[in-house]
Amino acid sequence: MKFFIDTANTSQIQELVAYNIISGVTTNPSLMAKEGISGTEDCHQRYVDICKLVDGPVSAEVISTDCEGMLAEAYDLAELHPNIVIKIPMIKEGIKAIYELNKKGIKTNCTLIFSANQALLAAKAGATYVSPFIGRLDDINIDGMELIKSIRTIFDNYNFDTNILAASIRHEEHVIKCAEYGADYATVPYSLLDKLFDHPLTTKGLEIFLADHAKLNP
């Protein structure tokens, strides 16, 4: 399983690129707003800045909810950089847009997936990625990880090329289960990725090793 970082913060991306652990970036309007970025021109510039930092897919989300509007935005976004992936919401007009973009060879990420049926429709339309939101399912007492398992089974049954990009990942157990259940990618916020480096026994063990070394090497 590969990692994407879910952020619009270039400093966070730059830091993690140095460890060679992220393969791409996902963004959304909320993450842009969190960085104080507004307006089409500034958003486009941030996408370009991100593409310069990471050699991999960068999801850029459309705002329109009608197919014509989505396509107009998508064509503009796709011109920014070859690594741009167009993030399209899982609505009827979105599926239509995904189909049209796929015919033109433009990669898409179908977002806000909450059921296997939605993932199946997106794959049929030719989505490059589907993004099931597992944390938000957990919020309403539905096991989000079961959705990952179900989509994996369906995609394998019918040899879909669409990648499973697990999203709305809240904690370390989500990461582990995504890897176990066959998600192709997981997009994870910086704060959670940073936690994956640590374990209390690693910290304790290193302290013991260094203390033992210091005893013999004053």
Rounded to whole angstroms, the Cα distance separating 118 from 132 reads 9
Token pair listed for 177: 């289960």
Report the SS3 class of residue 10.
helix
Three-state secondary structure of 146-200: HHHHHHHHHHHHCCCCCEEEEECCCCHHHHHHHHHHCCCEEEECHHHHHHCCCCH
State residue 216's pLDDT score: 84
Show which residues are catalytic: 87
32 within 8 A of 62, measured Cβ to Cβ: no
Summarize pLDDT for 17-45 with one digit per residue, the tens.
999 999 999 999 899 999 999 899 999 99
Domain ranges of the chain: 2-216
Rounded to whole angstroms, the Cα distance separating 58 from 144 reads 24
Predicted structure pTM score: 0.94
Q: Is the pLDDT of residue 217 over 90?
A: no
φ, ψ for residue 104, nearest 5 deg: -95, 5
Closest of 148, 194, 147, 199 to residue 7, by C-alpha = 194
Summarize pLDDT for 121-160 with one digit per residue, the tens.
999 999 999 999 999 999 999 999 999 999 999 999 999 9
Q: Return the CATH superfamily for domain 2-216.
A: Aldolase class I (3.20.20.70)
